[in-house]
Amino acid sequence: MPSVGSPISLGEGGTVRLGYLKNTLAGIRRAGINGEVYWLDLTNLSNVHFSYKGIFTVTLGKGDDVQDKLWLFIKMLELYPEEIPARFDVSEITVGHYIPE
């Protein structure tokens, strides 16, 4: 059991996960959507995804190029109605996929 002031170990793979978390949260903040993200899932580092407004699930894929992927997602939002639940897959920077549910 940890005691006050003792360092916390991230464990195996924890450093990479923490890096992805910091990078993704910073990207979300820069994109101006931090108040609209309901949850963020980094369970599988090859499939980072989050809920936007509780309506959309946004798949970023790997935690790299987050800023570019979020830019693509924001641009795609302009094209699709917010009242229809859907999944946005922006795991590839060059192409985004809109998948209604």
pLDDT by position in tens, the chain (length 101): 567 877 767 677 678 888 889 999 999 999 999 999 999 999 998 999 999 999 999 999 987 899 999 999 999 999 998 888 999 999 998 899 999 98
**In this structure, what are the phi and psi dihedrals at residue 14, rounded to the nearest 5 degrees?**
-65, -35
**Does some domain include residue 29?**
no
**Does some domain include residue 5?**
no
The pair of structure tokens assigned to 4 is 């006050």
Q: How many CA atoms lie within 13 A of 12 on its CB side?
A: 0
**Does some domain include residue 17?**
no
pTM: 0.85
The total of structural domains in the chain comes to 1
By residue count, the chain amounts to 101
**Does some domain include residue 40?**
yes
**Does some domain include residue 46?**
yes
**Does some domain include residue 20?**
no
Q: Which domain holds residue 91?
A: 35-100
